[in-house]
Structure 1
């Protein structure tokens, strides 16, 4: 009996002395799990594409070890609103990866690719930087059956649109997005949106909405989104939530109250936000929707009476909406027909052409810009107090609304390069708008929960090893509205599925991302 006990003790001692083996060990980092809890100095073991250990390592073997002393170790950031349209030309998505983004959700503002399944199949054949997920776009679906026409779908057309959403959900979409400020979504009635949202909801999808209005009409637009959530039984995200235009500054107090009220009634309403007081979209957003209907803008502006009406509508938008009542607030980002205008303002353009920088002349130049092919445009028409108020709301997540970018191409909004570092550096470390655990929570697990992802967004054993290691004392965005093509500082390591995408601050030009498809439920 004594001999057996001795053998057992020796076996236990032998087993306990065996080194645990990992592909990567991260030592002494301040680990923020992503759930909003304070950071703890812990070690992490990574095996394959998963986190296999969290705690204090004493006896281990590892192919590679990082001493993360002084660094924050966070789940990789999840960008819930990303313009991935150039993904086939920029599959490694360096402008996202360098921000610490390890998962990006594409297809926002109603613009998702169709047919979605075929598109995702093609992505799976490529080497991609971050993990990629997609929404099905309402505008894409509506345009397929109704083009850009201002009319309601017939019953047959509506059923075809419902089937299109149903198909996309079965192919892996995480929900439906709308762009109700843009053609042709602006012509859709609420009943149409509810019908299509129900199709997404049946498969456990979400509804993200570029609201019908974000300036005058913002309150009513938020109410519409809440009604869609209620009637379609679907979680709603008010995407890039803002109050735009001087007359609406401060309106976030009302919209956030609406969100709180809806949540008290049991509705799942959240928001995402980028940390800037300027938006970005096309110059056409200043033009009345009816003038763009059917693609007949050029013909309409040839009619003197219609042109006067169009011009009046543009003047109204400049004074009351995205124009911010100042031509200097309208800045061109991409101008394919005159690159010298990129980075300049509408005011600058008028001065260059020897014109009085009046709102009336500005409206004429907006018409000319659209006739020339349009522009990408930055609108400096938001109030910083609204930005901070929205950011602090417990149901607001951080998302860039950025378009994949690379140095030398156009003059993008700085959010394309700096969204997540800006929150962590400027708004968290410097301005104390958020504390660090909360900021990370808004970039990671809250977003993962919203997508229904159970294996990402948290640092826990068994979770995917999507990680970002940054210096909380130095992390900052460098991209500006004047000089946007600048990568951030302070992000030392980014791991995607357990592999280095950024190492010692250097982008490795390799892709380890995967296409992530939602597992559809329901019919």
Structure 2
């Protein structure tokens, strides 16, 4: 299949100014770029007045299972221009696993319903290769899943044999083609891991040339300390470091903590440690209900929270600050914690409401305890925790890439970033607020993230690169998803090409099988 794109304004994904040129694809590769191309083609696309860019590269989504489970997977991704993604983020992944209910329940708010038959990275890689993929998909080894496979949720220190078993699992993933290792130090079981344990796993990623992508321990009062922690891990392991969804949460930390953290990052970069960050274009994040519970209580059985002892313990712990853990109830308030998904039909009315509103005249801790007792961790939450000034400061960093951090846990009210992160960034930051030129924004969505995860054959419009290409009018590209109505598709994509195949045109997806597995 040969496609000739004529008369477009090409943004090549490098951050350089655009140029007027034609582009020819041939067999999934960009064959030529130049003025006045007259080569024969199976299809000619007139891009007069339109931007031609690389396909968007989202290196942080949680569609590990959705891509195998959901028959319409790819539609909302292609509609917003995403042609490649990386899964296995935040230390959370479906493999390796013990195939037990506790692990499945813990992952469900992030990954959605579990897919059977997956046990380790060999089986996941085989399933990824066998799947009909609408977009290109690579993955990271996930430290939390690795630790769970060896030790479950046991908080005790790992023995040397247990650390070596974890090393072997990370090495298996890297040998299968994983792009690196993700950490989710905020979450169990990683919150129980020692510095030495994290360094050991990061060394395996470094041995294969991978990246270390980290959900840090704390993004609020402990932000600076947590950034220093992952820099220490990266230095010790001699690995490239990317800090995922970098931000400062908690009202008392706004306009201050993030700038101190940036100073730490810049100092590390000046000393030779490769440190980068990514972010999403929203001031609210999304996570699981259990993240509201201090680590000291996360090991409790759900039934514990149905008792007076459990409720009293939870209330006492949430009324104080904790070293190394973000107490979101205290730092942002119950009215900023919104229930996004539940598993029980009897709780469906809670979706889209904040915990203060749901509790009514009762104490919000009592409502939190009820949800923990009846649903365990099968509840998703949205946290309105950030300052727009801080978000904008991060976006302007020359090493900050754009991501979505989209969760696929279901529910009536997912975070709108699932449907609209990339169009939203272009609409708001380029056109409405004029914070950066389009070529810079495109770079942060394409070439920059592709390079970060070793995807060097994508993310650029250059002869010889893979033909993942978008054609659109930047001023007409629209995100429609909001917190009130999140399940709204983006609009305005003229053409989406994945590996040389026209996958979507004029907001209609017509091919859900043009992607490939980015593995060995």
- Do they superpose with TM above 0.5? yes
**Equivalent residue for 1:344?**
353
**Equivalent residue for 2:340?**
333
**Equivalent residue for 2:236?**
231
**Equivalent residue for 2:274?**
268
**Equivalent residue for 2:87?**
106
**Equivalent residue for 1:138?**
143
Question: How far apart are the structure 2 equivalents of 1:321 and 1:287?
Answer: 8
1:60-139 pair list within 5 angstroms: 60-84=39-63, 85-90=65-70, 92-112=73-93, 113-114=95-96, 115-139=120-144
Question: How far apart are the structure 1 equivalents of 2:225 and 2:306?
Answer: 30
Q: How many residues align?
A: 486
Asked if the contact 2:219–2:326 (Cα under 8 Å) also holds between the matched residues in 1, the reply is: no
Question: How far apart are the structure 2 equivalents of 1:320 and 1:37?
Answer: 40
1:489 CA drift (Å): 2.0
1:97 CA drift (Å): 1.6
Asked if the contact 1:23–1:63 (Cα under 8 Å) also holds between the matched residues in 2, the reply is: yes
Alignment of 1:257 onto 2:263: yes
C-alpha spacing 1:405/1:430, structure 2 compared with 1 (3 Å): farther
Asked if the contact 1:117–1:172 (Cα under 8 Å) also holds between the matched residues in 2, the reply is: no
Per-residue displacement from partner, 1:352-378 (whole Å, max 9, x unpaired)? xxx25xxxx111211111112141110
Question: How far apart are the structure 2 equivalents of 1:247 and 1:90?
Answer: 41
Question: How far apart are the structure 2 equivalents of 1:515 and 1:228?
Answer: 29
1:320 CA drift (Å): 7.0
Question: How far apart are the structure 2 equivalents of 1:58 and 1:126?
Answer: 36
Of 45, 49, 52, the match for 2:31 = 52
1:471 CA drift (Å): 0.9
**Equivalent residue for 1:475?**
477
SS in 2 for 1:372: helix
Alignment of 1:27 onto 2:34: no
Of 282, 290, 300, the match for 1:284 = 290
1:478-489 pair list within 5 angstroms: 478-489=480-491
Asked if the contact 1:301–1:310 (Cα under 8 Å) also holds between the matched residues in 2, the reply is: no
**Equivalent residue for 2:509?**
507
Alignment of 1:392 onto 2:387: no
1:316 CA drift (Å): 4.4
SS in 2 for 1:164: helix
Question: How far apart are the structure 1 equivalents of 2:38 and 2:134?
Answer: 33
**Equivalent residue for 1:422?**
424
**Equivalent residue for 1:179?**
184
1:263 CA drift (Å): 0.5
Asked if the contact 1:95–1:404 (Cα under 8 Å) also holds between the matched residues in 2, the reply is: no
Question: How far apart are the structure 2 equivalents of 1:171 and 1:66?
Answer: 38
Asked if the contact 2:294–2:327 (Cα under 8 Å) also holds between the matched residues in 1, the reply is: no
* Gapped regions of structure 2 (runs ≥ 5): 97-119
Asked if the contact 1:417–1:479 (Cα under 8 Å) also holds between the matched residues in 2, the reply is: yes
**Equivalent residue for 1:313?**
317
Alignment of 1:240 onto 2:245: yes
1:309 CA drift (Å): 2.8
Question: How far apart are the structure 2 equivalents of 1:144 and 1:405?
Answer: 22
Question: How far apart are the structure 2 equivalents of 1:394 and 1:102?
Answer: 23
SS in 2 for 1:511: coil
Alignment of 1:204 onto 2:213: no
Between Structure 1 and Structure 2, whose CA radius of gyration is higher? 1
Computed over aligned residues only, the root mean square deviation of the Cα atoms, in angstroms, reads 1.8
* Gapped regions of structure 1 (runs ≥ 5): 1-21
Question: How far apart are the structure 2 equivalents of 1:280 and 1:226?
Answer: 24
Question: How far apart are the structure 1 equivalents of 2:277 and 2:85?
Answer: 16
1:291-310 pair list within 5 angstroms: 291-293=297-299, 296-299=301-304, 302=307, 304=309, 307-310=311-314
1:476 CA drift (Å): 2.1
SS in 1 for 2:265: helix
SS in 1 for 2:457: coil
